[in-house]
Structure 1
Amino acid sequence: MRSHLLISCLPFIRSFLRVLFSLLLIAPTGALWAQWEKRDSGINGAEVRAFAVNDNYIFAGTYGAGVFRSADHGSTWQAINTGITNDNVISLITNGSYVFAGTDAGLFRSADNGNTWTQLTNLSTTARIYAVNLVNGYLFASGNFTGYVFRSTDNGETWQQANLGLPAGAVVYSFTVKGSVLYAALYSSGVYKSLDNGETWENSGLGGASITQVIVKGTDLFASGLLGIYRSTDDGANWVNIRGGGYPSLIATSAYLYACGEEVVRSADNGNTWATITTGIPTLSQYRTFITLASDNVNLYVSSLHYSSTNGSTQVGSVYRSSNNGDNWLVSNSGLRGVGIKCFISEGGYLFSGTSESGVYRSSDNGLNWVSVNTGLTNLRIQAFAKGNGYLFAGTLGGGVFRSANYGNTWEAVNTGLIYTDIQSLAISGSRLLAGSSGGGVYRSDNNGANWTASNAGIATPGYVYAFAVKDGYLFAANGATVYRSTNNGTSWPTSSTLESFSRVVTMVSANNNIYAATIASCCGGNTIQRSVDGVSWTGIGAGLGAVNVRGITSDNNVLYATNANETGVFASANEGTGWVPVGEKFLTNRTQVVHVHNGYLFAGTEAGGIYAIPLAQTVPNPVISSFSPTAGVPGTTIVITGSGFSTTNSVNEVSFNGVSGWVSAATATSLTVQVPPGATTGKVTVTVAGVPVVSTQDFTAYAAQPLSQPGFLSAVTASPSQINLSFPAASTITNGAGYIILRRQDGTNPTVTGIEDGTVPASLTLPAGTTLAANISTNSITSFENTGLLAATQYHYLIIPYNVQAGQAINYYTASSLQTANATTRAAEPTAQPTGLTFTNVLSSSMEGTFVAAAGSPAGYLVVRRAGAAPTGVPQDGTAYAPVLRLAMVR
């Protein structure tokens, strides 16, 4: 059984250091509604960063498309990414049926030859894993995490640091073993070795050199990197440079040494002499580099990368295999689906895709299958499409404009007068064809590209024109960060607006009676969407897009779609871009570049992961309200709405209570937390997500705001045996239409707020036994009440409670603190009869004796009033106790 480590071979394009960082080993530094379906069968190629081989399979780790596996020695490949959450793979190793994949965000392990994967969470889940290898029963991993190098004895379940003696911040790109000695290739630090399986390390030469690969062949050690290939015949004590140039990948078979970089080379004499072996590998672009090598004892494999420009902005990766030790090569891309997609267009029932380095592909079945249609295309770096006047046009980087009159079956170059041939954008305005170039501004053609004329009148500094848009007879062109407007199909550009804080506009689209422009910030690489009705005044939009980096925009039936490279996904908006929600799942780490609507589907093209599609019906937000709690409350009450299809960005969700908007304080895909707004009334709850509304089936009962104060006091005064008069000052903070309820008890205790339920009208309150609703004063302008019909000689206790009610809102009672109470006792009942037969007899000179017949009804007593010289007059006042001068015994 073989165990192989095959680390990425870094490209060397003029500057090995530039490619080292940009390609393989980036230098270390301190709601979902549907699923996307991959639809790019027939568009083959991928940027392979690492190979690994076991007895049954060869594995390829790609940057942008995850891991692929071949069971037929590279004839065909199959994606195997179940469980992988980062598809930027930069290192691979096999150990029997175990496969380990190092990515830009941690290490993944498969126990079943890649069918399923699990992330090893005991190692950093955010670090780049530059190298992984199995040596002497230890699994070693190196990355840009604290600790530099870790090792495991249990297939990655647990890890221990293994970096004692390594330079601070060491970046190890590969490991190998010779005998019992472990060797490590360090970027910028040469080769180190360990005699104790990584417990300790010591320098083994080439100090200061950037070494990316160290291997063993026979009794010799070999190392390669930035400055060439080295050989040591004394276990690393001394090294000899046996070939200059940059070769980041180096492997050995029983007969040969192979290395790759700017070329693929082979040595049959232990590195003394070398031969270039690239027969059959085409030069597709200005720059070509080779990344990594592998051998499975049947074929030799090499991965290549082709660049269209010095900054590597467009590129295509391929795998080549050789069955004769590199004498001849055949492309081996079948099933490798990681091509960069730059543009789409629909024409004649077909869907066309323009790729970064592989030309034009055409599909007649909604992207299920694609065929290459490149006959006549002498440049395969497609950047833009346009259609009109019976032609399909393709703009390329470096090859100008091509046109086809037969749906891409054949193409012809149409570049007469086109000085700048890096074409960034194309448009049809009227019958005129326009091209936006890199450096030459706008070109126009009135004969379908046969002749071109520079068309920059009014453009201050013609430069890079990345986008056009057509709206209401106006033509718009984005030249850097300035949008120009033309009323004559681009002959002149008299009107312009500059987006001051942005470096350039990268794409534009006309939709929903607006122009939408995706812009890149000049200060820090940020990006946003700007919206304009006239192309002169612009408003920034994009809530819900996350860390914004929009590269493509399109629309369908008033729904906007935008790519977001930073968020690796596609977003939708149904409210003119004010709020956005994700469409389906994100594409792991693969950045989306372009979106397009075709025949009921939304298509997304990625930077290095091919094409995905999703039915349009499943792209728009579909919010659902399952329930909300509580179902009633006052302004300021916190309500939790549960359901699905919500945005995780607060501001993208709009919630209203019977038409009055509330404030969303927290949001997940399945719940919203919102406060009931002032003025809310009883009715339905509406949730609107990025312009798409859903209405609850249940009403929310909105209470009026609770009064903020109560009367300063409550006074109770006895008026008669059956009446007590109450009075109070008005509460100052209750609203018009509000009032008071007065509760009464007659058992010697004060009423309480028990039974006072907000939302219940006074007449329907369920009050405790012994408590009576004495009064409902339904206006705040009345401050007194006569409580009649009472029992005589009875004590009554009262409690006053203010309430608010307005505009159909339910009642809200004031129960915030202790309330005002009062009590009074009614007078005794008036006797029903009087005594009779009152007579007085002199007894002494100073006294008389009076007698009378007692009154019926047994009164409590009698008041006898006298007056000298005349009969008494006047009526005693009820409630007044008179002090007697003469007290007579009551006669019963």
Structure 2
Amino acid sequence: MRRSLRRPLTVLAALALTAPFAASVAVAAPPGQRAPDLVWTTTVTDPDQSLRGLDAVDRVTAWVAGGSVSGGAGGVFRTTDGGATWQDVAPPNADLNFRDVEATSATTASVLSIGEGEASRVYRTTDGGASWTETFRSTEPSAFYNCMAFFPGGRHGLAVSDPVDGRFRIAATDDGGASWRVLPADGMPDSTGEYNFSASGECLTVRGNVAWFGSGGADARVFRSTDRGRTWTAADTGLPAGEAAGVDGIAFRTPRHGIVVGGDFAAPADGTDVVATTRDGGRTWTDAGDLTHLGEDVAWVPGTRAGVVVVGESGAVGGVSVSGDGGATWIRASSTGFHTLDCTRDGSCWAAGSGGRVARAAVR
């Protein structure tokens, strides 16, 4: 299953747009719970793309990235009108599978492609995708970079790879993604048998000056760094671990309050014990409410104190679930799933998934 999640998918199909539609799902919240009310408007960028990378700058500007399901090139798309239309801005002649995109504006963004060795690359644009510069290419044959994240301000950032010689590998940038260097591995705990999942581009996240990433395989742990990736500590989450199971998505509302979601791609309908929360910055984790579907990504809902939304999609099994109490209880708002999710400070949430679908919701 891990191989099928990551296989290189490489030719861009013709860009196809469909008319957007809106859907509001009325659900009854448990007593005392005010679940976020999200009304999704969905468009299709390219039906050949499985979109797993997403970064929303604000309620009108967002970037998505993915891979072709027919063996074509991975796509990168940008909107500046709230998702009404999408522009194909993929790096030219890059037959790669893009799994993460990190943007600081409508013009500046970095995209990460996945794969073993040199297939793991970062491209950067400062002109809205009109041109791209390759700023990183892995030189280690056994490295496999899965996701990246930038600290506030956009100058410092990290990317995480599956373990090389038994330890997760970290690449870092101090110039906004214009250049990268691989950090020494002596500050990383032994992680033999573990790996990341590039299911949603959110296996790595930052909040303030702290960074976290999640693992699966032999263990389902969260790794934490307070020195921009030089040293790390690890804590068990209690999520199921296995060949296709572990932590998929991670989000922090504050440097202390966080949530992780995951599950088993071999059993996507089993949402038992796939959510955990922390109140001490990721040093310890507590089992939270169960889902009825896989959890690939999670986000705190803007404008709420404890609103959370989770998305997941694996074959015919998918869903969007919301919580109004920080993940203790969940409402399945939709059986239509997505792979990746992002919410912005100005009151919108975005999601993307299979068939080139991108959805935007105004928080009510």
Q: Same fold (TM over 0.5)?
A: yes
Which position in structure 2 is the counterpart of 1:518?
261
Looking at structure 1, the residues matched to 289 and 110 of structure 2 have their Cα atoms a distance apart, in angstroms, of 32
User: Quick one: which amino acid aligns to residue 32 of structure 1?
Assistant: A
Aligned to 1:565, the other structure's residue is in SS state strand
How far off is 1:417 after superposition?
Answer: 5.5
How far off is 1:506 after superposition?
Answer: 1.0
- Residues 1:428 and 2:150 aligned together: yes
Q: Which runs of 5+ in 1 are unaligned?
A: 1-12, 14-30, 46-315, 317-338, 618-892
How far off is 1:346 after superposition?
Answer: 2.5
Looking at structure 1, the residues matched to 89 and 342 of structure 2 have their Cα atoms a distance apart, in angstroms, of 19
Which position in structure 2 is the counterpart of 1:404?
125
Aligned to 2:283, the other structure's residue is in SS state coil
Which position in structure 2 is the counterpart of 1:452?
181
Which position in structure 1 is the counterpart of 2:209?
473
Alpha-carbon distance change, 475 to 597 in structure 1, aligned in 2, over 3 angstroms: closer
Aligned to 1:415, the other structure's residue is in SS state strand
Looking at structure 2, the residues matched to 492 and 552 of structure 1 have their Cα atoms a distance apart, in angstroms, of 25
How far off is 1:405 after superposition?
Answer: 1.4
Alpha-carbon distance change, 474 to 609 in structure 1, aligned in 2, over 3 angstroms: closer
- Contact kept? 1:416, 1:452, Cα under 8 Å: no
Alpha-carbon distance change, 391 to 603 in structure 1, aligned in 2, over 3 angstroms: closer
- Residues 1:351 and 2:43 aligned together: no
Alpha-carbon distance change, 575 to 490 in structure 1, aligned in 2, over 3 angstroms: same
> Which structure would you say has the larger Rg?
1
Looking at structure 1, the residues matched to 91 and 267 of structure 2 have their Cα atoms a distance apart, in angstroms, of 42
How far off is 1:394 after superposition?
Answer: 0.8
Which position in structure 2 is the counterpart of 1:120?
none
Which position in structure 2 is the counterpart of 1:497?
235
Which position in structure 1 is the counterpart of 2:41?
37
Cα root mean square deviation, aligned: 3.1
Aligned to 1:484, the other structure's residue is in SS state strand
Superposed counterparts of 1:599-610, under 5 Å: 600-608=347-355, 610=357
* Residues 126-185 of structure 1: CA deviation (Å, up to 9, x unaligned): xxxxxxxxxxxxxxxxxxxxxxxxxxxxxxxxxxxxxxxxxxxxxxxxxxxxxxxxxxxx
Match for residue 531 of structure 1 among 277, 283, 290: 277
Aligned to 2:355, the other structure's residue is in SS state coil
User: Quick one: which amino acid aligns to residue 344 of structure 1?
Assistant: L
How far off is 1:496 after superposition?
Answer: 1.4
Match for residue 110 of structure 2 among 388, 393, 418: 393
Looking at structure 2, the residues matched to 551 and 501 of structure 1 have their Cα atoms a distance apart, in angstroms, of 13
How far off is 1:573 after superposition?
Answer: 1.6
Superposed counterparts of 1:129-140, under 5 Å: none
Looking at structure 2, the residues matched to 372 and 539 of structure 1 have their Cα atoms a distance apart, in angstroms, of 42
Which position in structure 2 is the counterpart of 1:616?
363
User: Aligned residue pairs: how many?
Assistant: 287
* Residues 454-481 of structure 1: CA deviation (Å, up to 9, x unaligned): 4432221365334122235322122332
Which position in structure 2 is the counterpart of 1:875?
none
Instruction: Quote the sequence identity (%).
Output: 15
User: Quick one: which amino acid aligns to residue 303 of structure 2?
Assistant: N
Which position in structure 1 is the counterpart of 2:171?
443
Which position in structure 1 is the counterpart of 2:250?
508
Alpha-carbon distance change, 451 to 416 in structure 1, aligned in 2, over 3 angstroms: farther
Which position in structure 1 is the counterpart of 2:84?
368
Alpha-carbon distance change, 485 to 616 in structure 1, aligned in 2, over 3 angstroms: same
Q: Bigger relative contact order, structure 1 or 2, given CA contacts below 8 A and separation 6+?
A: 2
Aligned to 1:608, the other structure's residue is in SS state helix
Looking at structure 2, the residues matched to 549 and 413 of structure 1 have their Cα atoms a distance apart, in angstroms, of 34
Which position in structure 1 is the counterpart of 2:11?
none
Looking at structure 2, the residues matched to 502 and 411 of structure 1 have their Cα atoms a distance apart, in angstroms, of 39
Which position in structure 1 is the counterpart of 2:287?
540
For normalisation by structure 2, the TM-score amounts to 0.69
Looking at structure 1, the residues matched to 171 and 126 of structure 2 have their Cα atoms a distance apart, in angstroms, of 21
Looking at structure 2, the residues matched to 433 and 472 of structure 1 have their Cα atoms a distance apart, in angstroms, of 12
Aligned to 2:26, the other structure's residue is in SS state coil
Looking at structure 2, the residues matched to 453 and 530 of structure 1 have their Cα atoms a distance apart, in angstroms, of 30
How far off is 1:535 after superposition?
Answer: 0.7
Looking at structure 2, the residues matched to 501 and 600 of structure 1 have their Cα atoms a distance apart, in angstroms, of 30
Looking at structure 2, the residues matched to 548 and 417 of structure 1 have their Cα atoms a distance apart, in angstroms, of 34
Looking at structure 2, the residues matched to 592 and 423 of structure 1 have their Cα atoms a distance apart, in angstroms, of 22
Alpha-carbon distance change, 496 to 382 in structure 1, aligned in 2, over 3 angstroms: same
Looking at structure 2, the residues matched to 350 and 36 of structure 1 have their Cα atoms a distance apart, in angstroms, of 16
How far off is 1:603 after superposition?
Answer: 2.5
- Residues 1:576 and 2:326 aligned together: yes
Q: Which runs of 5+ in 2 are unaligned?
A: 1-6, 8-24, 28-37, 69-73, 198-202
Alpha-carbon distance change, 608 to 385 in structure 1, aligned in 2, over 3 angstroms: same
Aligned to 1:340, the other structure's residue is in SS state strand
For normalisation by structure 1, the TM-score amounts to 0.30
* Residues 270-322 of structure 1: CA deviation (Å, up to 9, x unaligned): xxxxxxxxxxxxxxxxxxxxxxxxxxxxxxxxxxxxxxxxxxxxxx4xxxxxx
Looking at structure 1, the residues matched to 238 and 54 of structure 2 have their Cα atoms a distance apart, in angstroms, of 30
- Contact kept? 2:111, 2:124, Cα under 8 Å: yes
Alpha-carbon distance change, 391 to 491 in structure 1, aligned in 2, over 3 angstroms: farther
Looking at structure 2, the residues matched to 501 and 364 of structure 1 have their Cα atoms a distance apart, in angstroms, of 38
User: Quick one: which amino acid aligns to residue 81 of structure 2?
Assistant: D
- Contact kept? 1:396, 1:422, Cα under 8 Å: no
Looking at structure 1, the residues matched to 247 and 190 of structure 2 have their Cα atoms a distance apart, in angstroms, of 16
User: Quick one: which amino acid aligns to residue 514 of structure 1?
Assistant: H
How far off is 1:549 after superposition?
Answer: 0.7
Which position in structure 2 is the counterpart of 1:564?
312
Alpha-carbon distance change, 520 to 405 in structure 1, aligned in 2, over 3 angstroms: same
- Contact kept? 2:351, 2:359, Cα under 8 Å: yes
Superposed counterparts of 1:171-320, under 5 Å: 316=48
- Contact kept? 2:39, 2:363, Cα under 8 Å: no
Looking at structure 2, the residues matched to 367 and 500 of structure 1 have their Cα atoms a distance apart, in angstroms, of 37
Alpha-carbon distance change, 522 to 362 in structure 1, aligned in 2, over 3 angstroms: closer
* Residues 39-80 of structure 1: CA deviation (Å, up to 9, x unaligned): 22xx233xxxxxxxxxxxxxxxxxxxxxxxxxxxxxxxxxxx
